[in-house]
Amino acid sequence: MLVEYARNVLRSERAEHAETDPDAADLVVTPLSCSLWGQEHRVVVLPGSRAAKLYGTDEAVEDYFCNYGLSPEYRPRMEEAGLRVSGVDEEGDPRIVELDGHPFFVATLFCFQTRSRPEQPHPLVAGFAEAAGQSSVVT
């Protein structure tokens, strides 16, 4: 999602992900300073965001299975272009991003679905289902 946002909104046609093209000159997604694979960590949800509204709290514990994240060099450009960082780790690194004004454009670095159950869906799953139910399809 971050690579496509960089390519289509920022017009960075050569934007790439370090996992698929580690030698690319324009890396939007880069290796994290340490692996988060198979760990759970606290996420601070930022006030005023869709994520904050859905979580109903200012923090959560989530499961991670990744080694890559938004390049620190790209973050300011992404935010200037309208992508909001709405959740961070304890060091302030992005863990949730969203796009204001979109019916449901929320992306996470963690795997929220691991904490979702039919009897108690994860707040982001419930929010997506609600947004999808309110969306109208034009044919």
Residue 121 pLDDT > 50: yes
Residue 118 pLDDT > 70: yes
What digits encode the pLDDT tens for the residues 64-98?
999 999 999 999 999 999 999 999 999 999 999 99
DSSP label at 112?
A: G
- Burial degree of 43 (CB within 10 A; 0-12, 13-18, 19+): buried
What are the structural domains of the chain? 2-132 (3.40.50.880)
What digits encode the pLDDT tens for the residues 35-72?
888 889 999 999 999 999 999 999 999 999 999 999 99
Q: Which residues contact 93 (CB under 8 A, 6 or more apart)?
A: 32, 69, 70, 72
**pLDDT at position 81:** 97
Residue 15 pLDDT > 80: yes
Share of the chain above pLDDT 90, in %: 88
- Alpha helix (H) residue ranges in 31-119: 50-55, 75-80
